[in-house]
Amino acid sequence: MTATQPLPAEPCVGIGWRQPHYEQLLAERPALGFLEVHSENFFADGGITQAVLAAGREAYDISLHGVGLALGSAAGLDATHVEQLVRLVERVQPRWVSDHACFARVGSGLHAADLLPIPFNDESLALMVEHIGRVQDRLRRPLLIENISAYVGWAGDTLAEPEFFNLLTERSGCGLLLDVNNLVVNARNAGHAPAAAAQEAMRWVDAIRPGSVGEIHLAGHAERDDGLVIDDHGSAVREEVWQVYRHALRRLGPVPTLIEWDTAVPPLAVLLAEAGRARACLQ
């Protein structure tokens, strides 16, 4: 494998750059460390989307965050998807390229429009290491792999989730994209109240190998009437997530951080205020 462990980057804060803010952000150029876009939205060659992304790249570092590699799929990688990502990376030269520890493809060719949880066992680990290695070899750079929010699980897991990620980063040369909100969401759905969920999430962070985390994501979540907590990226970061974030910085050191907000997108000023709060934690 040609990829190596991501080198530590200077602490900085970015935001997810979504369509409602394309024009305003380019006009105002607020002080941000980087912008994140969803890779698949920019796979098409040419057109206005590529022009917008090129303009953003002139002003900021770009992080490409994908949702479609489905690296944990036993059906294998989608070669077309991988090559589209390769072309995008060559055009943009992003600071980071990331995707999720999930599966979505099955042998019939069906691709679920979701991030489905993988088993945490040796077989799944070997599959992820193989697929990550193949993508990294094509990209000639390491990936960051995100822990997901999961609403179902697999019986008979043999590895704890943090142990799985420690082995994954060590064996593949990838880095971990630590989504702190997902840790809290999963703990809430396991039956913990917010304060106890934060403690569970901090224990998860404590089990991660220092130096393996290349980026942190912060986002909001929603609580349904039936008690299910959804990682919807549609509100401000909750206080218990900020608590876990501060703990993660103490444990892992200053890590580049992204504010995600994908649904019910607020005015740009709201996102920048969240980014400012994260920057204050980093400093």
Position of tokens 């609580």? 223
pTM over 0.75: yes
**What pLDDT is attached to residue 283?**
87
What is the tally of structural domains in the chain? 1
Lookup: tokens for 173 = 């040369």
**Per the domain annotation, does 5 fall within a domain?**
no
Residue 4 lies in a domain: no
What phi, psi does 282 have (nearest 5°)?
A: -65, -35
Give the CATH number for residue 277. 3.20.20.150
* Residue 6: inside a domain: no
In the predicted model, is pLDDT for residue 109 greater than 90? no
Alpha helices in the chain (DSSP H): 22-28, 47-59, 79-92, 122-139, 161-172, 180-189, 194-206, 239-252, 268-282
pLDDT tens track for 43-63: 998 889 999 999 999 999 999
In a domain, 95, yes or no: yes
Query: What is the residue-averaged pLDDT of the chain?
Result: 93
For every residue of 190-212, DSSP letters joined together read TT--HHHHHHHHHHHHHTSPTT-
Q: Check pLDDT > 70 for residue 108.
A: no
Domain that holds residue 102: 13-282
Whether pLDDT at 9 is above 60? no
As given in the structure block, the two tokens for residue 6 are 């991501």
- Cβ burial, residue 225 (10 Å; 0-12/13-18/19+): exposed
Q: Is residue 147 part of a domain?
A: yes
Does 105 fall in a domain?
A: yes
Residue 118 banded pLDDT, cuts 50, 70, 90: very high
Cα 216 versus chain centre, distance: 7
